[in-house]
Structure 1
Amino acid sequence: MGLSGKGPQSHRMVIFAAVFILMTLLILYSSNTVNDNVYAPFHVATNHVAKVTDLKKWSGKDGYVPVYGNKNMTLHCHNCALVTSSSHVLGTRAGEEIDHTECVIRMNDAPTLGYGSDVGNRTTLRVVAHSSVFRVVRRPNEFLHHTDSNPVMIFWGPPNKIGKDAKGTLYRLIQRVSMTYSNVSCFSITASKMRRFDSLFHRETGRDRQKSHSWLSTGWFTMVIAIEICDNIKVYGMVPPSYCGRKPATKKMPYHYYKPRGPDECITYIQNESGRRGNHHRFITEKQVFSRWAKQYNITFTHPRW
């Protein structure tokens, strides 16, 4: 009787084992499929013929509104160092070279204190996204440390958050910094110019930013602004568009040099490039455009060089 009782139980165990194996195979297959999708590039539309845009004549300085006072955006530099926030700048010892450049451009809340030997100490222009305003204005002394005598800060974002007519919390914070530090010229990008940044992305990539669920990165705004104001640009720490697809896999590097435990740079790039739900930065696509612009606007890349 005991033996006959084990029959159905054994049969159930066999069925359970078979189902378990089948589910495991399906999960593995799904994982491989997801990985393939993750590495599927967004990139410039395959049938898109890039239209040459003369960014020197593209907009002029009328797209910048002073946050306080009647200042005008008149900054112009012969040579610029555009220092990215990438951890590729660490260990470069490029700080002295950067500080000797006529104008130094930085992004968001990337600090110089404690990193001067690699990223330099001077700041001529800082381009700040609406999402970074709180981090910048919370510690203004840190980001205005060793700035040039008349530094410029340009804030970009939705007009209803940083626009002069919005009078929202972010705008008031920026205004307070501008009033406190009278030597700093703070500007916000107008709604019409924000739309022009969108149309430029569409023109250069064949992709509609909104329809493709894309957010332009601070790097995109900073590069275009740098082209407007600089005759020559040397970019520190930006990897080429093909960097994250190389085999064998590239060494893992933190996305930000000042956040060593932050996300990996290439994983961040790839996930954003392939994301279809929600809004994502198209870092790799943007770098493809920068690569085309390099010869046209005297842009060179170092650490890594490409």
Structure 2
Amino acid sequence: MGYKIPGAAMDRVSLLWRLRRRARRGVLCMGLFCVAMGLLYALCAENSVPVTDAIFGVRARTRAQPRAHSVIKVVRAGGGGAKPIFVNPQDHPGIIPGDPHRPIPVLSASNASLEGGSDPRSRRKDLTGSGGTGYLSWLMPRSLRHLLEGIFGGRRRVGMAGPGGGSDAELFGPHGTLGEVWDEEMSSSMLGKRLRKVVQNYQSMNKYGVPPQSKWGAEGWGSTKRSGPELLCELKSKVEVATVTPDLRPFSGLPWASLLPPQPLTSDLGPFKSCAVVSSAGSLKHSGLGKEIDSHDAVLRFNSAPTVGYEKDVGTKTTVRLINSQVMASDDHRFLSSSLYSAGILVAWDPAPYSADLGEWYNRTDYPIFQQYQKYRRLHPQQPFYILHPRVEWQLWDRIQANMAEAIQRNPPSSGLLGTVLMMSLCEVVHVYEFLPSRRKTELCHYYQRFYDAACTLGAYHPLLYEKNLVKRMNRGPDRDIFTHGRVTLPGFNSFNCSQGVAH
């Protein structure tokens, strides 16, 4: 007589069998869903990075573009041969112009990877074997590799070849286009396809109403290659470093005008004998330059660049901190509450339209610089806090464009160059660290973050590439200093004369 399984036990076995079957179905469905999402991700990544970011909600715009809400996206009208149509993303539905809390996602870092040291050659490979060289890459389709890169914290690599067949990343290699020391003849034609397209887009847009090339008249663009001393004399005579004071209209009629410093920064501060301008570049990581930086009489830093935890590489001293209006407005940077900003003197800046007066600028700021300024001053009434006069940005932009043989981005210069010129007005000699990349050159954007993008060195929103060309030409130190320390030596405006048109 056979053994009979009780009914209750049969029910439990049947339930367990059904649960296992549902679990298998769930795993299969989840696998198919992941594959489908991977295919969609790869399709969007290959064809339209902004579309990818819009679908997935990625806030991965390059940090070289602090005002990304004004980016112009190029689309083709109709079939081949049609002219590009430039569409302002601000006009897209659901976009709030100028809202720092809802930036338009553009330009994901297509060449970024996991951090594994400041030298790109030393980065560890991610799980998927980025670039197709890993031991698992040949076992899985590219779409699944993209998906795994996203899951495990990596960034996708899109093979956008440059003129030599390489990507933006290859500029930074030991035999890359950048070479050992920055070449002052660098041009957009040397960039990879991705960055070249971005630069061309920015050259075509004109948010700030910059006049056309004819403005330069006979001077032209690159009509005469000026020497370093001649460039220094141009900056000294044609760029007037100034800050906003309460006697200027419209501020003189505002109730909070008393919060502004009564004298310009150049009257209150300095002169200093030796100064350091410390960039936020990733190549400062493992530099060991901290003691040298702190040995200067005054040190300028940028935006939210920290010193705590990075003292060995960037030092501890902060005399001046130059911050842009986006940092002031962004909740992520905690401008009003973070102790990071309480050290030293603050100088804020925000780009104005090219030909605007102070009244027009007051009503057309990129970010709410004046609201944030008032809040901060009431919280920290004893800390010196200046606002850079907007004409400084465009006077400096004019000098860059007048000395370049091609059109540059019609956007203000970077904080890096603004800070350098600011310190040149306060110091006898200025040492700028890692504005021109050293032998440690890397795609790592900032020494304090894990974000890789060649645009942080070569420029996207800002005309960084052209700024570096100018700085290289004006450098009074040896190329060896650039290679080993990323150090550029520039004279202060008051330490040389231009009576003969040549600096001494």
**1:199 paired residue number:** 398
Report the alpha carbon displacement of residue 282 of structure 1 after superposing the two structures with TM: 2.4
**What SS class does the counterpart of residue 174 from structure 1 fall into?**
helix
Cα distance in 1 between the residues matched to 2:435 and 2:448:
15
From 450, 457, 461, the equivalent of 1:269 is 457
Report the alpha carbon displacement of residue 65 of structure 1 after superposing the two structures with TM: 3.6
From 288, 292, 301, the equivalent of 2:469 is 288
Cα distance in 2 between the residues matched to 1:35 and 1:171:
47
Task: Report if the CA contact (8 A) 1:48-1:205 is conserved.
Answer: no
Q: In the alignment, residue 71 of structure 1 is paired with which amino acid?
A: P
Cα distance in 2 between the residues matched to 1:271 and 1:101:
28
**2:302 paired residue number:** 107
**1:303 paired residue number:** 485
Query: For structure 1, which segment, 223-232 or 90-99, has the greater mean C-alpha deviation from structure 2 after superposition?
Result: 90-99
Task: Report if the CA contact (8 A) 1:140-1:177 is conserved.
Answer: no
**2:323 paired residue number:** 128
Q: In the alignment, residue 370 of structure 2 is paired with which amino acid?
A: Y
**What SS class does the counterpart of residue 52 from structure 1 fall into?**
helix
Report the alpha carbon displacement of residue 92 of structure 1 after superposing the two structures with TM: 2.4
Describe how 1:155-234 pairs up with structure 2 within 5 A: 155-159=348-352, 165-166=362-363, 169-205=368-404, 209=408, 212-234=409-431
**1:17 paired residue number:** none
Structure whose residues are more often strand by fraction: 1
From 336, 339, 351, the equivalent of 1:141 is 339
Offset from partner CA, 1:33-56 (integer Å, 9 cap, x none): 787697793389664533635234
Q: In the alignment, residue 324 of structure 2 is paired with which amino acid?
A: A
Describe how 1:87-102 pairs up with structure 2 within 5 A: 87-102=282-297
Cα distance in 2 between the residues matched to 1:295 and 1:202:
22
Task: Report if the CA contact (8 A) 2:306-2:448 is conserved.
Answer: yes
**2:87 paired residue number:** none
Q: In the alignment, residue 261 of structure 2 is paired with which amino acid?
A: N
Q: In the alignment, residue 176 of structure 1 is paired with which amino acid?
A: K
Cα distance in 2 between the residues matched to 1:53 and 1:175:
36
TM-score by length of 2: 0.43
**1:70 paired residue number:** 261
From 311, 315, 330, the equivalent of 1:116 is 311
Offset from partner CA, 1:184-232 (integer Å, 9 cap, x none): 22222223333322222223335565xx444421112111112111111
Q: In the alignment, residue 188 of structure 1 is paired with which amino acid?
A: I
Distance 1:69 1:203, change over 3 A: same
Describe how 1:17-96 pairs up with structure 2 within 5 A: 32=161, 41-42=187-188, 47-50=223-226, 52-54=231-233, 55-65=235-245, 68-72=259-263, 73=265, 74=267, 75-76=269-270, 77-96=272-291
Task: Report if the CA contact (8 A) 1:81-1:101 is conserved.
Answer: yes
Cα distance in 2 between the residues matched to 1:106 and 1:267:
20
**1:153 paired residue number:** 346
Cα distance in 1 between the residues matched to 2:327 and 2:296:
26
Cα distance in 2 between the residues matched to 1:131 and 1:105:
19
Distance 1:109 1:207, change over 3 A: farther
Q: In the alignment, residue 399 of structure 2 is paired with which amino acid?
A: L
Report the alpha carbon displacement of residue 109 of structure 1 after superposing the two structures with TM: 1.1
Report the alpha carbon displacement of residue 80 of structure 1 after superposing the two structures with TM: 0.5
**What SS class does the counterpart of residue 257 from structure 1 fall into?**
coil
**What SS class does the counterpart of residue 476 from structure 2 fall into?**
helix
Cα distance in 1 between the residues matched to 2:339 and 2:397:
33
Distance 1:270 1:190, change over 3 A: closer
Cα distance in 2 between the residues matched to 1:201 and 1:251:
24
Task: Report if the CA contact (8 A) 1:71-1:185 is conserved.
Answer: no
Offset from partner CA, 1:23-82 (integer Å, 9 cap, x none): xxxxxxx95478769779338966453363523444445444477243321222111011
Report the alpha carbon displacement of residue 180 of structure 1 after superposing the two structures with TM: 2.3
**What SS class does the counterpart of residue 286 from structure 2 fall into?**
coil
**What SS class does the counterpart of residue 104 from structure 1 fall into?**
strand
Distance 1:53 1:155, change over 3 A: same
**2:60 paired residue number:** none
TM-score by length of 1: 0.67
Cα distance in 2 between the residues matched to 1:126 and 1:271:
22
Unaligned runs of 5+ in 2: 1-158, 169-185, 190-219, 247-256, 489-504
